[in-house]
Structure 1
Amino acid sequence: MRFASSVLGLAATASTAVAAATAANTGIKGFNYGAFFLNQAAKQQADFEYEFNRAKNLQGTSGWTSARLYSMIQWQTANTVISAIPAAINTKTTLLLGLWVSGGDQAVTNEIAALKAAISQYGSAFTNLVVGISVGSEDLYRDASGEVGVGPQKLIDCIEKVRSAVAGTPLAGVPIGHVDTYDSFLNGTNRAVIDHIDWLGFDGYPYWEQSLPNSIDHAHERFYDGLNKTIALAGNKPVYVTETGWPVSGKTVGQAVASPANARIYWQDIACSLIARGVNLWWYDLQESQWGQASPDFGIFPAGDLNTVKASYDLSCVSLILC
């Protein structure tokens, strides 16, 4: 099995010495966690704690002790701190924080207010868990696609607002980044964003790339082609893999077939290779279908009690010979 050699030795030069030291890839492993269930019900602290604890005890693998969030705000509130924060404190789960910036100026103001409130309310018990802050998620991609997103200058403004908000706080040295698709930065105008961040997040889903060969047999090529292009675009900024996965069920997209068997192949080929390289990774996702049925469903676990239902596929990593 071939692995992309450029994943080795990712550079870690950031905008400041502190950010450079903390932005480097260190082999973090975690999952993406939404703020609500499929039925739109907000996740409460107990829900997050249940998920975080389950992630720490997965058969066949270990070390999944980090959570990537998309928002600082508790679902269906104006700017109340998301209950994932006290859940992370109680479970000793590290956090890649996310601020949603495609909802307009007031939404950005609310996100920053919640971030400041979390620092004030929870102190070092919270701030010591934060491994990074993501300002936005796929905003440039959605903006270019005519969806609700933001352009590069607006995104840069948001990034600088967040930097100002954490200046003089225990989060001042935490690396700030942005998550998007690699092709968003093929647009030269968008590349200006990279100059204002400490790390770049890569979201890669070969399953959706139906304009190219995207069967499970081509998934390795599709994924690493996108990741390597992102690494090249990032220059001396480290790249984290912030989202990837393969669905266990759902429609066939191009040549990509959703199934537990293919999800297992993708885990072995992509998750295991990234783990071996020490790349910071947040998988999508632990459980997607709870209080509803996702289609496609990228969850490792099906609907039901996470401590009762079985994983849909094997999570062990079989040793491979690099060639």
Structure 2
Amino acid sequence: MQIQALAITLGVLAALSAAEAIQGFNYGSTNSDGSCRKYGDFKQLFERAKNLPRASGFTAARLYTSIQCGTSADPIEAYQAAIDTDTKILVGLWTSAGRYVFENELNALITAAKTLGTAFTDRVVGISVGSEDLYRSTPQGIANDAGPGCTAGEIQSYIGWMRDWIKGTLLEGKLITHVDTWTAWVLPENSELIQAIDFLGHNSFPYFEDARANAIEKAADNFWSAVAATESVAQGKDVWIIETGWPDTGPVRRDAVPSLDSAKTYWNTIGCSLFGKRGTFWYTLVDGATTEADLSFAITPNLNATPKFDLTCH
């Protein structure tokens, strides 16, 4: 048992040390028209990410669910696409739809590990239990009509459940995280959840932060102050940047104006300071289904692999 525990500890440390090289995009389970993303969709997008002109190293994918859209518990087809494109995966398990759906998430993940084997599990860089559930449970999230969320206690119970289920499988020893907004991480009631995970997944979008001056000229200061706030409560654990970006189209939010110039500026000042230095998943390569049809964070159009702006880091 001591040897097994040591092996798992060494594996976790190795994964943490490799985090600096992890770089990718976020991928939802649906296309912009609301249709389910299939194997071919994911494969095409993963290949596009790896072959972006003037940008390299985008070899990882962050997913929000392990369930293939349109099914109850079939593994998401992105897993096979990741194998076939040699793409690393930050697994996502959706937690805001109740225990029954979370059980389906676990079933889908365990099935993938059993049927796809090490070709899948060797590419898993971590497992995220939930995404912005804490934020959606806060007064701010409720006021913004962000949808159902979970408390820290509920997320902790899901993590314990998952750890039991993956024990003895090829997924045992994988890094466990939760992804949320910096405004949720700093709340004292969430400190016990931080103790239960291996690293923190940090989301921050200066564009949306209209409670303070948020013009593109303020974006770098706002972003890094948000990261510092998360790090201040991280209990010495790593903080990975899981979602950030700036839209090229959409409504004006206080001082924040969507434009191609602003999206490029944000990429240059924020993205280029992160890539290759900290675990980072940019938001986003292409738009998925969104409640705001005129809001776009995509760096490439859905049907065109040509970036909307020059991705060269200066």
Same fold (TM over 0.5): yes
Q: Distance in 2 between matches of 1:91 and 1:102?
A: 30
Contact 1:56 1:62 survives alignment (8 Å):
yes
Contact 2:186 2:229 survives alignment (8 Å):
no
Q: How many Å apart are 1:16 and its aligned residue?
A: 4.3
User: What amino acid is aligned across from residue 114 of structure 1 in structure 2?
Assistant: A
The aligned residue for residue 86 of structure 1 is: 80
Deviations along 1:26-59, whole A, 9 cap, x unmatched? Answer: 2211000000112221001000000000000111
Q: How many Å apart are 1:17 and its aligned residue?
A: 4.6
Equivalent of residue 19 in structure 1, options 9, 12, 23: 12
Q: Distance in 2 between matches of 1:291 and 1:135?
A: 22
Contact 1:290 1:304 survives alignment (8 Å):
no
Q: Distance in 2 between matches of 1:109 and 1:201?
A: 22
Contact 2:38 2:77 survives alignment (8 Å):
yes
Contact 1:37 1:291 survives alignment (8 Å):
no
Contact 1:252 1:258 survives alignment (8 Å):
yes
Q: How many Å apart are 1:311 and its aligned residue?
A: 1.1
Gaps of 5+ in 1: 1-14, 319-323
Q: How many Å apart are 1:229 and its aligned residue?
A: 1.0
Once the two structures are overlaid, the 10-residue window that deviates more, 94-103 or 183-192, is 183-192
Q: How many Å apart are 1:20 and its aligned residue?
A: 3.1
**Large movers: runs of 4+ above 3 Å:** 15-18, 289-294
Computed over aligned residues only, the root mean square deviation of the Cα atoms, in angstroms, reads 1.7
Contact 1:27 1:279 survives alignment (8 Å):
yes
The aligned residue for residue 42 of structure 1 is: 36
User: What amino acid is aligned across from residue 285 of structure 2 in structure 1?
Assistant: L
Q: Is the helix fraction higher in 1 or 2?
A: 2
The aligned residue for residue 74 of structure 1 is: 68
Once the two structures are overlaid, the 10-residue window that deviates more, 267-276 or 257-266, is 267-276
The aligned residue for residue 4 of structure 1 is: none
Q: How many Å apart are 1:22 and its aligned residue?
A: 1.5
Q: Distance in 1 between matches of 2:162 and 2:16?
A: 17
The aligned residue for residue 315 of structure 1 is: 311
The aligned residue for residue 182 of structure 1 is: 182
User: What amino acid is aligned across from residue 88 of structure 2 in structure 1?
Assistant: T
Q: Distance in 1 between matches of 2:273 and 2:92?
A: 26
The residue correspondences of 1:163-174 to structure 2 (distance < 5 A) are 163-174=163-174
The aligned residue for residue 151 of structure 1 is: 151
TM-score using structure 2 length: 0.92
Q: Specify whether residues 227 and 164 from structure 1 end up closer, same or farther in structure 2 by C-alpha distance, changes over 3 A only.
A: same
User: What amino acid is aligned across from residue 245 of structure 2 in structure 1?
Assistant: G
1:29 aligns with 2:23: yes
Gaps of 5+ in 2: 1-7
Contact 1:142 1:149 survives alignment (8 Å):
yes
Q: Distance in 2 between matches of 1:246 and 1:294?
A: 16
- DSSP 3-state at the match of 2:245: coil
The aligned residue for residue 242 of structure 1 is: 242
Aligned length: 300
Q: Distance in 2 between matches of 1:288 and 1:185?
A: 26
Q: How many Å apart are 1:62 and its aligned residue?
A: 0.5
Percent of aligned pairs with the same amino acid: 39
Q: Distance in 2 between matches of 1:292 and 1:208?
A: 15
Q: How many Å apart are 1:292 and its aligned residue?
A: 11
TM-score using structure 1 length: 0.89
